[in-house]
Chain A
Amino acid sequence: MHPADRPGVRDSLRAENYMYVYDEYDQRIIEERVAQFRDQTARFLAGELAEDEFRPLRLQNGLYVQRYAPMLRVCVPYGLLSAPQLRMLAKLARDYDKGYAHISTRQNVQYNWPKLEDVPDMLAELASVQMHAIQTSGNCIRNVTTDQFAGVAPDEVIDPRPWCEIIRQWATFHPEFAHLPRKFKIAVNGSAADRAAIEVHDIGLEPVRNEAGELGFRVLVGGGLGRTPIVGSFINEFLPWQHLLSYLEAILRVYNRYGRRDNKYKARIKILVKALTPEVFAERVAAEWAHLKDGPATLTEAELERVAKHFVDPAYKALDDQSAALAALDAEHPGFARWRSRNVAGHKKPGYAAVTLSLKPTGIAPGDVTDKQFDAIADLAERYSFGEARSSHEQNIILADVEQSQLFELWGELRELGLATPNIGLLTDIICCPGGDFCALANAKSIPIAEAIQRRFDDLDYVFDLGEIDLNISGCMNACGHHHIGNIGILGVDKKGEEFYQVSLGGEAGRNASLGQILGPSFAQDDMADVIAKVIEVYVEQRSEEERFLDTFRRIGIDPFKERVYAKNH
């Protein structure tokens, strides 16, 4: 049996041993990075490095210069956070920012108000809890993302986390790929459902088994959002796991050498894959890989075991599912019932559940967390979920290992903290970039749009009745809010200096991802809540029982929505 998915031996292990723990090498690398960046910052502040020279250096460390202040993006590798790390995030928000931070759509954490000269100290603090900001921006390999339910999902085929960590280490300061044509995003999915949206990544990976039971990967390339949204193409249906890194290296080398650098809007790998065709791109990769295959980058059983042993199950108790007891509580507490039906997900172990803490209450920018909430989440993680939490690309936080018998008590605590809004997967669980309120790239604000929609749909029963609807908002073409794959997507556009919003319908993030269709001419900010209300009206009128928004849209097409939204005097 393969070491990556060895059952049984895990239960006796200590609590800190279910996420990757740095050894002296990992620690030294991030400490040397702090020293390097401290020196770079000092040289910049002393005028020895020009702004243009410092820019790529700070970007590779997640430091943007934003509209009002620098923004520091801290890496949360594939979304895993320990309680001490959560407390450090709280401390940074308190000591260096305005008391809050933001969960990004790449599972990272962003600080919007640090001082440039403080950033080296922030990085030193992060390094003390095995965190960093390496490659969270810039034209390099970014944070590897995965399913927020990795390791606990009932539909999981293979735990993606060891593979994410192996890729993280390979990508960290990869000398050949530090200056790619453009940013590069890799996602790994290990489940039947695709909660990692791998089809819209530069590389998407799915661990699979072949007929002989051997482990390998399906490899997708050339997906992406941004200005030219494309669903990627699978170029290898079974790559034996030993060759993962040499194959990634082959893909990246072909891209580094042949990707366009003359126009940043044509520089992502998806443009190269499209220009060559996926078939020809696959041949190029195969030709390059033929030289690298079986070289020193070939993964070993020992390495896989070394990494995989960190991702073992925590010490689960032998429990039974609590269906009857929970149903009784549901009957007594409708609020609990609603929360449970939206925010509590199934778990591979009987008697356990995965709980999503909603960062989408009305009136708070989607994905924002205060220092007090971070500290409280750390405490809750320790009391309810083996000291671990996850950030999701939907900008929420998950406690993945909660005993079902403790759900009611946890719900009560989450309500006190404002983290129990029962809207996961619903219209008001809006995915939203920071937009023009913070981001220098944005054409338009996105947070006020999210708030206007949340206020319009303030009747929880109604939102609940509408069922699953992904609504995504991006403030510009860069598509950080992933608007193309929202069932309802909203894109901020600039028209002669004024902010307008384009609406698209029918996008989907999961398996067989699809991109939304543009509804028509864009709308003014003040009209947006009405526009979304009309779209929802059409759905409510047209849906058959139990039909999700996306299914209704696919059945009836875009025209009924168009007619309603653009109708005169309606």
Chain B
Amino acid sequence: MQRIIKNGEVIDERWHLLPVDATLDGISNSDDLIVPLGLWLQSSHALKVRDGGLGVWLQSHEQIEDIVDDLKYFKVVALDFPAFTDGRHFSSARLLRERYGYQGEIRAIGDVLRDQIFFMHRCGFDAFAVRPDRDPYDALKGLQDFSVTYQTGVDQPLPLFRRR
């Protein structure tokens, strides 16, 4: 079982991430599923009536504007990093938290590594599915990289100049 970072701790993963081409065929009723955006947009009615938990995941080019009216259905919004240098979803996470008031889990998936998660956390990610070949306990140290930050962020809405 994969272990992920959630709220600053390493925990067992209980969600199933469905692949980008997943369909409703044979989909579990009771498992907790993170479905690709495409499947959600096609089949939201069927997905809403399942018993299991529901999350959605977005590729790096997909826009959160496609889900902002549906956020109440999702316990998890997972945002994919095809490469850790693809920074688009840093903005997505901030918008989900700061503009659309999303309170559920925002999870970084894909090429998620220790040296990015400090910034991810500042942008509103609270869960990190660290790349499977890396140790999540090691990655956890990345959250401690800095004790001071200048800008507004989800973790600290007030910029340093309003606190210093």
Chain A residue with the shortest CB-CB distance to B135: A48
Contact of B115 among A57, A170, A177, A245 (CB under 8 A): A57
CB of B72 within 8 A of chain A?
Answer: no
Chain B residue with the shortest CB-CB distance to A57: B115
> With the chains together, A256 CA to B85 CA distance in Å?
12
| Residues from 65 to 121 in B contacting A, C-beta threshold 8 Å | 84-88, 90-92, 94, 99, 113, 115-116, 118-120
Contact of B90 among A29, A36, A170, A179 (CB under 8 A): A179
> With the chains together, A28 CA to B160 CA distance in Å?
13
Known: A23-B164, A176-B90, A257-B88. A297 touches B146 (CB 8 A): no
| Residues from 145 to 184 in A contacting B, C-beta threshold 8 Å | 169-170, 172-180
Report yes or no: A261 in contact with B86, Cβ–Cβ below 8 A. Answer: yes
B residues less than 8 Å from A177 (CB atoms): 87, 90
Q: Which residue, A174, A177, A179, A256, has most C-beta atoms of chain B within 10 A?
A: A179
CB of B8 within 8 A of chain A?
Answer: no
CB of B38 within 8 A of chain A?
Answer: no
Known: A170-B150, A257-B88. A175 touches B161 (CB 8 A): no
Report yes or no: A297 in contact with B151, Cβ–Cβ below 8 A. Answer: yes
CB of B158 within 8 A of chain A?
Answer: yes
What per-residue 1/0 map shows which CB atoms of B126-164 lie under 8 Å from chain A? 000000000000000000011111111100011111101
CB of A300 within 8 A of chain B?
Answer: yes
Report yes or no: B162 in contact with A300, Cβ–Cβ below 8 A. Answer: yes
Contact of B84 among A179, A257, A261 (CB under 8 A): A179
Known: A23-B164, A296-B162, A297-B159. A173 touches B146 (CB 8 A): yes
Report how many residues on chain A are interfacial, defined by Cβ distance under 8 Å: 37
What per-residue 1/0 map shows which CB atoms of A525-552 lie under 8 Å from chain B? 0000000000000000000000000000
What per-residue 1/0 map shows which CB atoms of A297-331 lie under 8 Å from chain B? 10110110010000000000000000000000000
Known: A297-B159, A300-B162. A29 touches B123 (CB 8 A): no
> With the chains together, A170 CA to B160 CA distance in Å?
9
Interface SS of B by simple majority: loop
How far, in Å, is B138 (CB) from chain A's closest CB? Answer: 8
CB of A295 within 8 A of chain B?
Answer: yes
How far, in Å, is A26 (CB) from chain B's closest CB? Answer: 8
Contact of B148 among A25, A178, A300 (CB under 8 A): A25
How far, in Å, is A243 (CB) from chain B's closest CB? Answer: 13
Report yes or no: A179 in contact with B85, Cβ–Cβ below 8 A. Answer: yes
Q: Which residue, A180, A253, A261, has most C-beta atoms of chain B within 10 A?
A: A261
Contact of B91 among A36, A170, A256 (CB under 8 A): A256
Residues of B in contact with A (beta carbons under 8 Å apart)? 84-88, 90-92, 94, 99, 113, 115-116, 118-120, 122-123, 145-153, 157-162, 164
Instruction: Offer 29 A-B interface pairs, CB within 8 angstroms, sorted by A.
Output: A29-B149, A32-B146, A32-B148, A36-B145, A40-B115, A53-B113, A169-B150, A170-B151, A172-B150, A173-B146, A175-B119, A175-B149, A176-B122, A176-B123, A177-B87, A178-B87, A178-B116, A178-B119, A179-B85, A179-B86, A179-B90, A253-B91, A256-B88, A261-B86, A295-B152, A296-B152, A296-B162, A299-B161, A303-B162
Q: Closest 6 CB pairs between A and B? A: A179-B87, A175-B122, A175-B119, A303-B161, A176-B90, A169-B150
